[in-house]
A and B are shown apart, each in its own frame.
Chain A
Amino acid sequence: MAQAVQITQKDFSSDQDVRWCPGCGDYSILANVQRVMPELGVRRENFVFVSGIGCSSRFPYYMNTYGFHTIHGRAPSIATGIKCARPELSVWVVTGDGDGMSIGGNHLLHTIRRNVDIQILLFNNRVYGLTKGQYSPTSRVGMNTKSSPEGSIDYPIQPLAFALGAGATFVARTVDVDAPHLQETLRRAHEHRGTAFVEILQNCHVFNDDEWIEVEDRKQRIDAGMKVVDGAPLVYGSEGARRGIRIEDGVPSVIELADGQDPVAAGVAVHRERYETPAYAFALASLARPEFPLPTGVFRAIENPSYEALLSAQVASARVQRGKGDLEALLSSGDTWTVEA
């Protein structure tokens, strides 16, 4: 680990010029990822960043690690192959709402379901950026774009609900410009064994500016956002306007809290990352503005053996039971006969 101690954020910057639009939320995410990497106790050569297609998918070019910029939507599958082949590597997928939720939805679903031990960072800006501004699968109904001049009539998908539905063992949400929270979420995602799915709310300055301003702006965030913490009640809001979230029979509601009132006694739900069923996390994922605050943090984190670990265990156990494969014995197995000269 000697090297891990010495390397710094700078060691993770590649020699390539970063080419996102000025004001793009990706800059902040890149800086924070590079900042966290040296703290993770992983040698630089053991990091692999894999991406698909889209603005976010340029990410690996700017990381001085191993990187693979692949094809649209397929990054989770390529990452699955990498992790199965080399379980010791730290594999990170960078995707977007179009790449991950639209063309790559199937791969994302099955990768999460298998619980492959990788980190999936989904940058959600609710628009197609690289193709210049069409509505995406997470865009709001009614959004006017070049391909929806009369407003989008697609109902949006909620990435965290999708991940929970696929049986995700780790689901979190954070915000591009909230550096400490973003970094802490990345650390947690890395610690998790299994698929860590992180939605990063990210601003597209050019095609969907200020989509997440309520949680990006420090002041607005206090009343419009809610950071969830394991074991703490779901409370938010500024002094004098504190509120909490009650979840009853899976249905959330807002409770106004008086000064000094005990939120738990008032019926506010206590956040737990390890509820047996994902129903609570699903309810959390359904909270949307303006009726509710937008929650961020780790929604769910449970333990389950990861796919590549189970696969490697099968290989190891086959070797214990049957010995290392003997090709000569295989080719001569079953009925054979000899033709004499």
Chain B
Amino acid sequence: MPEKPTEEIESVAIRFTGDSGDGMQLTGTKFTESTALAGNDLATLPDYPAEIRAPTGTLAGVSGFQIHFSSHDIRTPADHPDVLVSFNPAALRANVEDVRPGGMVILNIDAFTEKALTRAGYTEDPLPALRDRFQLVEIPFTKLNRAALADLDLRSRDADRSKNFFALGMLYWLYNRPMEPTLRWLEGKFKGDVLEANARVLKAGHAFGETTETLPRSFVIPRAKIAPGHYRNITGNTALAWGIVAASQVFDQEVFLGAYPITPASEVLHEVSRYRHFGVKTFQAEDEIAAISSAIGASFAGSLGVCTTSGPGLVLKQEALGLAIMAELPLVVVNVQRAGPSTGMPTKVEQADLLNALYGRNSDSPVPVIAAATAGDCFGTTLEAFRLAVKYMTPVVMLSDSYLANSAEPWQIPDVASLGQERAPFATDPESFQPYSRDPETLARPWATPGTAGLEHRIGGLAKQDGTGNVSYDAKNNAHMHALRHEKVARIANEIPPTEVLGPDRGELLVVGWGSTQGAILSACIEAREDGQNVSNIHLRYLNPLPPDLGEVLARFDKVLVPELNLGQLSLLIRSQFLIDAKSLSKVEGQPFLVEELRAEIDAMLGLET
């Protein structure tokens, strides 16, 4: 049989969809790993229900994983998949309208029974109409998979569990991905019949791709031209966890992580718990309050205290966060934001806790707030949070979100030496020691830990006399301490690097973003500039304090657009602080921005009809 032809393409976006029990997240993750090793740039978007097992075959139970990979720079998981893989009618119905017109839709046709169609809410067979709009590839994955395993002593239910790997094998062939990373993973993960079954169907799927007439050609996506270096694939939660572990090395100090399980932050606790040999202690507390309280205790005792949570947890932590502000202890509070309010949509994205991080406590209680922009950036931003916390003796809130948490990208592995070596300036000298004396540059108070002779002192939540730290109800002192705490956080602005304007440094429109929207904003603005539009963009890592040059940058543009996955929180800050008519573009659908949504708004602001 002659080998099938290959076609070179620049990029493709594939969405794997099925029941939440069909293994779509695993399939997507394995495809991602293989794609990273193939040298493409990539971005992923896992999208799954909060329920562990929603009723089979229903729209509520549909789980999806989208990967966008390319031979050029990739910043988003793509607005519209080119390929949809659907393991049942519900997955098809929930996703098919997102597919690019004329795109490929690969179906497990065995699952398209009348009963399953009804379950998914179809009143008639949708396939005839879809055949006109898309390139339908109907494959009996269940039957083929069972046939491949016929001689193994497996119940058909168990055999069916591996059909996702059959499809994965076929897609490896279709996009010329290496199978070896997945085979290696299988060997490390399973043994016996389970290993044999999964490895066999992966290869069978690949062979099926090679031979089936349904797929006339395979596609080649050349390696991306990315900066030279050593790379790995990473998700935001892993990068965040490794940032916490790295802090123990950079500061040569024990890290104490107090956490309570909460979606989508739990993986950080899981990951960090694996690295006790780094001198990292993890504590699964009884609740969110105990989680932060234990971390505050550990910081008081001289460890690097950190706690990881999501929105509802941050709310519960606010009282204790106020104590850390008053006690002026270093602490990192990580909020992997999710869609709210209340329990909201725990697995979906939102960036709506900005104001809560800034202002969600009693009284004026300033805290530095920084945000990660990409999955890989979670590593450096976490380390930056520790650095600020120790240098300024303050709690720091670090914001990630559920999109960053679960999405993956290739990440250039940093040289450990480049991370620097920091030393916490522990107080040791009893001579003229005062617990609330100040470093003249940073206004930080000394970190004097129990066990140090001669530095015995008391701290707490009651108002403090400057210097001695003794309880004080003195009116002027209270105002003075308010001002000091405010000024201490404000001084962090002195070390924020100049704001980098992408595009013209003055002009018609500036798009201002923060957090996980960076990829979509950057893509939209680059495309707009390529179309000759006068639009620039900046992305903020420091939300409190804001960059000192921000006002001056904003003033160089006629119009300012602030896209956010909330109802306009940064926009509110910018409008109030700089008295400009910044326009908010908000999206609160539990999904990241599409590039086309941003482009439409940019067009509208530039007065262009679309």
Contact = CB atoms under 8 A, between A and B. Distances in A.
B413 to A, nearest CB: 5
B256 A81 contact: yes
Interface in B286-344: 286-287, 289-290, 293-303, 305, 319-320, 322-323, 327
Range for the number of chain A residues in contact with chain B: 35 or more
Interface string B247-282: 011000010101000000000000000011111110
Contacts of A81: 256, 258, 283, 293-301, 303, 305
B232 A68 contact: no
A54 to B, nearest CB: 13
B599 to A, nearest CB: 30
A60 B296 CA distance: 17
A82 B414 contact: no
Dominant secondary structure of chain B at its interface with chain A: mixed
Contacts of A60: 458, 460
B279 A78 contact: no
A70 B276 contact: no
Nearest to B33: A335
A243 interface: no
A338 B230 CA distance: 4
A205 interface: no
Contact of B413 (A64, A83, A88, A332): A332
A327 interface: yes
Contact of B231 (A82, A83, A339): A339
Most buried by B among A47, A53, A107, A339: A339
Interface string A49-89: 01001000000110111111111001001111111111011
Range for the number of chain B residues in contact with chain A: 35 or more
B37 interface: yes
Contacts, number: 210
A274 interface: no
Contacts of A336: 230-232, 413
B458 A14 contact: yes
B456 interface: yes
Interface in A282-341: 311, 314-315, 318-319, 321-325, 327-328, 330-332, 334-341
Most buried by B among A61, A332, A337: A337
A319 B280 CA distance: 11
Contact of A79 (B36, B281, B297, B323): B297
Interface in A75-127: 77-86, 88-89, 106-107, 109-110
Closest CB pairs A-B (n = 9): A81-B297, A69-B460, A325-B278, A81-B294, A77-B293, A67-B458, A78-B297, A318-B276, A77-B290
Interface of A: 3, 14, 16, 43-48, 50, 53, 60-61, 63-71, 74, 77-86, 88-89, 106-107, 109-110, 311, 314-315, 318-319, 321-325, 327-328, 330-332, 334-341
Given A69-B458, A82-B300, A335-B33, 11 more contacts: A45-B452, A67-B460, A70-B323, A77-B294, A110-B290, A324-B277, A327-B246, A331-B414, A338-B229, A338-B230, A338-B231
